């Protein structure tokens, strides 16, 4: 049984273990592909901040258009 055990151990380490490890990490990778709840909250917060900044920029442009109509040509 000693030689047969050795052959089975080598076969396991050469064939089964690498395939098992590869499939394990493929499964982990697929599970982590999506966004976490924290990532989604951060993304929503950044989206809201960017929308507020865009609104402010448009307001500033309207003020500048009214106060200094040629301001765009000076840049």
35 close to 43: Cβ distance less than 8 angstroms: yes
Whether residue 1 has pLDDT greater than 80: no
Q: Which distant-in-sequence residues (6+ apart) come within 8 Å of 43 by Cβ?
A: 35
Q: What is the pLDDT of residues 5-64, one digit of tens each?
A: 899 999 999 999 999 999 999 999 888 888 888 989 999 999 999 999 999 999 999 999
Q: Is the pTM here over 0.85, yes or no? A: no
CA–CA distances in Å: residue 72 to residues 54, 57, 59, 69: 17, 14, 15, 8
Q: pLDDT higher for 35 or 75? A: 35
Domains of the chain, residue spans? 1-33, 36-75
Whether residue 75 has pLDDT greater than 70: no
- Which two three-digit tokens encode residue 53? 């900044």
């Amino acid at each position: 049984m000693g030689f047969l055990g050795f052959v089975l151990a080598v076969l396991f380490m050469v064939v089964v273990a690498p395939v098992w490890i590869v499939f394990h990490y493929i499964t982990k990778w697929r599970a982590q592909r999506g966004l976490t709840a924290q990532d989604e909250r951060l993304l929503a917060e950044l989206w809201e901040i960017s929308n507020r900044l865009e609104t402010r920029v448009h307001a500033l442009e309207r003020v500048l258009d009214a106060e200094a109509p040629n301001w765009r040509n000076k840049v």
